[in-house]
A and B are shown apart, each in its own frame.
Chain A
Amino acid sequence: MTYALYIASVVGAAALLLMMPRPGYNPRFLGGLLGAATLGGLWLYLSREMPYETGLARSAMACYYIFSAIAIGSAVRVITHTRPVYSALWFVMVVLASSGLFLTLNAEFMAFAMVIIYGGAILVTYVFVIMLAAQAGDADAADSPEYDRVAREPLMAVAVGFLLLAALLSVAFNPNAIVPNPAARGLTDEQIISGDGAILPNRLDAALAGKLAGSANGISTEELAPTRQLHNVERVGLDLFRNHPLGLELAGVILLVSLVGAVVIARKRVDEPGDPPASTTGNA
């Protein structure tokens, strides 16, 4: 199986190399085809061994292939497109596709947070900056500047990148490399209520489950209900506030600091080549 991965890595690398921006003729279409073929072939080869029970619904598994293909394809366009605005838009596509992947993994909160924060906030910032950084006379120009049209050492970058990828994949698809954690085995609510106490302490809802286990006969539906129907949002929220309060506070501090920092950096006046000399007196 690993040889298939290595071959796919090499072919994929060649495909990406063809698509990298370069002066002169760009065999982008050829590269795209080759890449799509490699990805499709690899998936077909891998799903050969796929068991019936995957842990996902069948439809979710199908969604995985669709979103994954979109994500990878968009990612390739992000790094190969010669115009930064299009790169940014393709990146929005990557974000949307990976949000779809999160949905298949029952991580609804992450999916929507990703779309709102990445697609909505961060990418808007990027687009603004690209707009700010566009040269004045450049708007009507047919082509983007040279540094966008020509990649720097694409061969080297692609070689190293796919070396890394091959290494990562051989870990990911190596059955020995991933050792399942027995304590992290999934538990049903019935198991929790039946009082398999030995595996409870590590769990998020250990206290509540312990209470349930102690009074198996007297469980009221009101008490049981939250355990049964804990949503993804609730679980993440509980984990975040119960187990990582310090991290949460620090994240707030980091955001504040970067806010202040960004303001300070952006306020700094620079002598711009085209500015009238009067503005130089106002240097901060």
Chain B
Amino acid sequence: MNLDLIKFIPWLPALAAVLCGLCCTKKALRCLAAPICILSIASGFVIAFLHRGGVPPGGAVVPFFEWINIGGFSANFSYFIDPLTLIMLFVVCGIGTLVAWYAAFYMKGDKGYARFFTFVSLFIFAMTNLVMADNLVLLYLGWEGVGLCSYLLIGYYYNKPSAVAAAKKAFIVNRIGDLGFALGIFLVYQTFGTVSLREAIIAAEHVSEPSTAVTLIPFLLMLGAFGKSAQLPLYVWLPDAMEGPTPVSALIHAATMVTAGVYMIARLLPIFVLSPYALPVVAVVGGLTAVFAATIALCQYDIKRIYAYSTISQLGYMFLGVGALSTVGGVFHLFTHAFFKALLFLTAGSVMHALAGQLDLRKMSGLRTKMPVTCWLMFVGCLALAGFPLTAGFFSKDMILAAVMEKGLGEHGQPLFLALGILGLFTAFLTAFYTFRLWFRVFMGPEQYEMGEEHHGAEEHGHDHGHGEDAKPQAASDIKVEHHHDAHEMPLLMNLPLIVLAAGAIAAGYWAEHSGWIESMVESSTAAVHGGESAHAAELFGYHLHTAMMVISSAISILGIALAAYFHWLNRPAADAAARQYKSIVTLLNNKYYVDEINDAAIVTPLRTKGEIFFAIDRLIIDALVTLVGLVPRALGIGARRLQTGALQGYGLGMACGAAVLLLLVLFVAN
């Protein structure tokens, strides 16, 4: 099939970004921005869909235009299309279309409406470039592009100090990872003499004796992946990134951008296997991040933050899967996670919308009668996230856990992977618990809630929402009276994309696994694992491993849901009693293990102090020197100005004098 159309996938959103940018200029044009943006992303999805079966095995390179071509170095705008790219394109464009659709209603009335869609289009441009890049430099361009759009969209409410701080934090933390990624790219070029993905992968597959440099590459690239995908220890930016508009959280900080790290490792798997330690490190970091973020999510009260930590945790699963050489599992989880996490964020956005910016779990309860559709949509999302049997999350999570356990229990069983598998199961339990804690708290129980402090479509977002702990109930009720509006269901058009996502969250897993689609797709891409040992399927408790894991994880998720139902729906005082009993742990978790505070004390404050010292030195010494240097010619000028008499002949006299003196000097010095 002709692949010519493929190259338009990134450039239609780029065009849309320009058009939306033009829409920013006129108030009357603002409403055009959303249709332009949605149309461009949707057409990208359609193009990708048309090519679903037409990608040749091993991928194809679609050249677009020449970008950098110096000597032996070439990095061009050409796109590498293989099944893995297609999966990513389905996720990016598909989820992108649905989220943009939702945002078209969600953002209505905001004065940055067109700006929002400009950034979203730009993001899709960068993200599609990232996943379609044929070389590492173009990939890096997309990588930085999505980072930039993430920064712009987190800081969308730029007159809100917390949003600006969060945007800066995201950008700076990502820089640390990107430094590693950039160094990795340099090292790839130095080692393999090319930045082309295909050539580098082929070269990597033919390396017989890995040198130190070659084994260093995966670790540097890994650093970039950890930064972008918010893994330990670079995860700190993602929870704060929730300051951005909720559709952004759904699209960028849950479904697409943060999975770029997983994509990159899956794409460059042949390079990662060059070092025997690289993938185990990825797996360990992923496993630890999963359980670490899940524990924090247990004790948070901000709905969006709970989902943010859940995202970190689920990304940990993906890394665990890729690290256990199950790229199919990792990519599969990426695929399903995109559906249910986007769904969860968007429904959380609906709740927030309905309650005028209220995000505090403790200030809402029993909303199911007010917002029935949202309630059940979120229920579906929660089931998928909790890994309830036969939902999408169940299949993908199970595939990862099975692959990890297989490495732990198989013929050459590694105890490390066994431990990681058990950790993963524990995390699955925590996930089920905290997910349904949220859902039961919000929608079940007695109907009782407080409105937030934001108007619908408020023009001003000058305050910090989401930290409802400080808001006094008295003040909140006053505001409620003042607002004259109550919790309500979203319009059907706004819920439409959510229904599509919900369908995906339920059925995508079953369909993708049982039709063999995801496996055939990943296995025919560069992420394919060669020489797999799937023939020697391990056994657990006398059953086939996969069957056993399915039963165990189903049991665990149902147990987690049941516990959550008991504590947070049926017997809420028991939850409070338990919280009081383990007060220290709850406080620790509520404060996110004090990681931000530790970072602040260990890294930020010393650097800031150093910076202030340098600033003082710069001001007092260097600036003073510069000023002094500037003063000298000025002082000279005051004196020399007198010589400029303005009389033509005076200048002639000076010239003649100078010529005579020079001539005499030459004469007497030369002889």
Question: Which A residues have a C-beta under 8 Å from some C-beta of B?
Answer: 152-153, 156-157, 160-161, 163-164, 167-168, 170-171, 174, 176-177
Contacts and interface: CB of A to CB of B under 8 A. Distances in A.
A152 B667 CA distance: 30
Contacts of A156: 653
A62 B289 CA distance: 109
B663 interface: yes
B671 A167 contact: no
B667 A167 contact: yes
B660 A163 contact: yes
B275 to A, nearest CB: 65
Contact of A168 (B649, B657, B663, B671): B663
A160 B663 contact: no
25 contacts: A152-B649, A153-B649, A153-B653, A156-B653, A157-B649, A157-B653, A160-B653, A160-B657, A161-B656, A163-B657, A163-B660, A163-B664, A164-B656, A164-B659, A164-B660, A164-B663, A167-B660, A167-B663, A167-B664, A167-B667, A170-B667, A171-B663, A171-B667, A174-B667, A176-B671
Interface string B39-64: 00000000000000000000000000
Contacts of A168: 663
A156 B657 CA distance: 10
A133 B659 CA distance: 33
Nearest to A2: B667
Consensus secondary structure, chain A interface: helix
Residue with the greatest number of chain A CB neighbours at <10 A, chosen from B659, B660, B664: B660
A156 B671 CA distance: 29
A255 B667 CA distance: 37
Contacts of A152: 649
Contacts of B663: 164, 167-168, 171
A157 B657 CA distance: 9
Contacts of B667: 167, 170-171, 174, 177
B649 A160 contact: no
Contacts of B660: 160, 163-164, 167
B663 to A, nearest CB: 4
Contacts of A163: 657, 660, 664
Contacts of B664: 163, 167
Consensus secondary structure, chain B interface: helix
Interface in B640-671: 649, 653, 656-657, 659-660, 663-664, 667, 671
Given A163-B657, A164-B663, A171-B663, 7 more contacts: A153-B649, A157-B649, A160-B653, A160-B656, A163-B664, A167-B660, A167-B664
A153 B645 CA distance: 14
A181 B4 CA distance: 73
A161 B653 CA distance: 9
A167 B657 CA distance: 11
Nearest to B660: A164
A170 B666 CA distance: 11
A167 B667 CA distance: 8
Contacts of B656: 160-161, 164
A153 B654 CA distance: 13
A280 B671 CA distance: 64
Q: Which 5 A-B pairs have the closest CB atoms?
A: A164-B660, A167-B663, A163-B660, A167-B664, A160-B656
B213 to A, nearest CB: 56
Contacts of B657: 160, 163
A177 B666 CA distance: 11
B654 to A, nearest CB: 9
A28 to B, nearest CB: 22
Interface string B497-514: 000000000000000000
Nearest to A167: B663
A160 B659 CA distance: 10
A164 B649 CA distance: 16
Contacts of B659: 164
A127 B607 CA distance: 79
Contacts of B653: 153, 156-157, 160
A67 B667 CA distance: 30
Nearest to B654: A160
Contacts of A161: 656
Nearest to B657: A160
B515 to A, nearest CB: 79
A152 B653 CA distance: 11
A238 to B, nearest CB: 34
A21 B663 CA distance: 29
A171 B666 CA distance: 10
B647 to A, nearest CB: 8
A163 B657 CA distance: 8
A120 to B, nearest CB: 28
A253 B664 CA distance: 38
Contacts of B671: 176
Residue with the greatest number of chain B CB neighbours at <10 A, chosen from A152, A157, A164: A164
Contacts of A153: 649, 653
A171 B663 CA distance: 9
Contacts of A174: 667
B422 to A, nearest CB: 87
Contacts of A167: 660, 663-664, 667
Contacts of A171: 663, 667
A161 to B, nearest CB: 7
A252 to B, nearest CB: 30
Residue with the greatest number of chain B CB neighbours at <10 A, chosen from A152, A163, A167, A170: A167
A177 B671 CA distance: 9
Nearest to B670: A177
B657 to A, nearest CB: 5
Nearest to B665: A167
B652 to A, nearest CB: 9
A253 B392 CA distance: 82
A171 B668 CA distance: 10
A163 B671 CA distance: 19
A163 B667 CA distance: 13
Interface in B320-368: none
Contacts of A164: 656, 659-660, 663
Nearest to A161: B656
A185 B251 CA distance: 88
Contacts of A160: 653, 656-657, 660
B150 to A, nearest CB: 59
Nearest to B659: A164
B653 to A, nearest CB: 6
Interface in B94-138: none
A176 B663 CA distance: 15
A16 to B, nearest CB: 14
Contacts of A176: 671
A168 B662 CA distance: 11
A156 B659 CA distance: 15
A148 to B, nearest CB: 14
A29 to B, nearest CB: 27
A196 B531 CA distance: 87
B666 to A, nearest CB: 8
A152 B664 CA distance: 26
Residue with the greatest number of chain B CB neighbours at <10 A, chosen from A161, A163, A174: A163
Contacts of B649: 152-153, 157
B597 to A, nearest CB: 75
A174 B664 CA distance: 13
B214 to A, nearest CB: 59
A168 B664 CA distance: 9
Interface in B261-295: none
A152 B660 CA distance: 20
B392 to A, nearest CB: 79
B643 to A, nearest CB: 15
A153 B656 CA distance: 14
A156 B667 CA distance: 23
A156 B660 CA distance: 14
Nearest to A157: B653
B646 to A, nearest CB: 14
Interface string B209-230: 0000000000000000000000
A88 to B, nearest CB: 20
